[in-house]
Amino acid sequence: MGRLGPCRRCKTDMRPTADETIRFYREDGAYVLVHDGTLDGGANLRYVIRLIEREMQLKLKSLGYFGQGTHSQERFHSGQPIDEHAFARRTRQLLRLPLAAMAARLMAKGVLGPKPGEPAFENLNEKTGAATLKEWAISYYEANEITCPGSLNVLERNRLFRWRRIPFEYLRHNLQGSYEIPVKVECYRQLLGKGHPLPPLICRCRGWDLLEGYHRLSAHEKVGSETMPCVIIGRS
Distance CA 134, CA 140 (A): 10
> Tens digits of per-residue pLDDT, 106-151?
999 999 998 889 999 999 999 999 999 999 999 999 999 999 999 9
- Beta carbons of 88 and 126 less than 8 angstroms apart: no
CA angle 105/223/49 to nearest 5° reads 25
Q: Tell me, what's the pLDDT at 62? A: 95
Distance CA 233, CA 3 (A): 43
Distance CA 118, CA 60 (A): 24
Instruction: Please state, as a whole number, how many other Cβ atoms lie within 10 Å of the Cβ of residue 190.
Output: 16
Buried b (16+ CB within 10 A) or exposed e, 136-159: bbeebbeeeeeeeeebbebbeebe
Q: Tell me, what's the pLDDT at 102? A: 96
| DSSP letter for each residue of 179-190 | ---HHHHHHHHH
Domains by residue range for the chain, with CATH: 12-96 (3.30.70), 130-233 (3.90.1530)
> Tens digits of per-residue pLDDT, 28-47?
999 999 988 888 888 999 99
Average pLDDT in the chain: 90
Q: Tell me, what's the pLDDT at 69? A: 85
Which residue numbers in the chain have pLDDT < 70? 1-19
Q: Tell me, what's the pLDDT at 4? A: 30
Q: Tell me, what's the pLDDT at 123? A: 96
- Beta carbons of 137 and 202 less than 8 angstroms apart: yes
